[in-house]
Amino acid sequence: MEYVPFCGTPPAPVELLTRWTFDPALLLGLAAFLVVGLWTAHRRGRFLVGWGLTVLLFVSPLCALSMALFSARVGQHLLLTLVVAPLIASSVPLPRLTPLVTAAFFAALFWVWHAPAPYAGTLASDLTYWSMHLSLFISSVLFWRSLGADRPFESFLAAAFTAAQMTAYSVLLVLSPEPWHAWHELTTAPYGMSALGDQALAGGLMWVVGGLLFVGTIGLAVARYANRQTPVGS
């Protein structure tokens, strides 16, 4: 029997809005995440926003669209790691690790999972699919949790490093003369674009969205560091 990816086969545009994912294991996992989060969160409002976005990422038609468009998968990952993760990191009590260590950990996973072979593996196995998303999510939560007012210079370096490595990846996507992922060479045409155009769009999304967010993060870290260096009463 032929394997069907977790989010299903690539949808045709006319059926996209009907492609919601109500997998029982997914819904059970989201429910458990909600219960544990509400039990432990000290900022429940932020947690609920992060949880709600997580539901949309994996239950809404975006999940199915990510089977057709690499740009949709990248958008899903950007929302998961750059929006949901900081909301969860700031709402649930977790240990603060060293910023540069968490940045390196996140970067390694980010590059590995978006390389052609591991990425193809996520389309051939539910276990690999969820290994990708859970490891990216956990590493990004640890990264955002490690940034803090108590270590502004380290936070600046970690944020700058993360911005640089994500920008480098996005530039490679935009400038590549050929598509990296064979799967999407067969799935993008119904949406009016080539696999290479879809890949360039993914790189542009990462470049702009990630860049804007990290400019703010780096600016905040610099401001905190400057305030710490200013003598009291000056």
Count of residues making up the chain: 234
CA atoms of 204 and 210, how far apart (whole Å): 10
Q: Is 91 helix (H, G, I), strand (E, B) or coil?
A: coil
pLDDT at 231: 47
Structure confidence at residue 232 as a pLDDT band (50, 70, 90)? very low
pLDDT at 148: 76
Structure confidence at residue 153 as a pLDDT band (50, 70, 90)? confident
Burial class of residue 76, CB neighbours in 10 A (0-12, 13-18, 19+): buried
C-alpha atoms less than 13 angstroms from C-alpha of 115 in its C-beta half-sphere = 8
Structure confidence at residue 156 as a pLDDT band (50, 70, 90)? confident
Closest CA to 65 of 188, 178, 193: 188
Give the tokens for residue 148: 């803090």
pLDDT value at 71 more than 60: yes
User: Using the 8-state DSSP alphabet, how is residue 82 labeled?
Assistant: I
Question: Tens digits of per-residue pLDDT, 169-225?
Answer: 999 999 999 999 999 999 999 999 999 999 999 999 998 887 777 766 666 655 655
pLDDT at 55: 98
Closest CA to 169 of 205, 132, 125: 205
Structure confidence at residue 228 as a pLDDT band (50, 70, 90)? low
Closest CA to 137 of 90, 65, 83: 83
Phi, psi angles (nearest 5°) of residue 177: -80, -10
Percent of the chain with pLDDT over 70: 90
pLDDT at 212: 74
Give the burial string for 34-65 (b: 16+ CB within 10 Å, else e): beebeeebeeeebbbbbbeebeebbbebbbbb
Q: Which residue has the higher pLDDT, 2 or 20?
A: 20
Question: Tens digits of per-residue pLDDT, 85-122?
Answer: 999 999 999 999 999 999 999 999 999 999 999 999 99
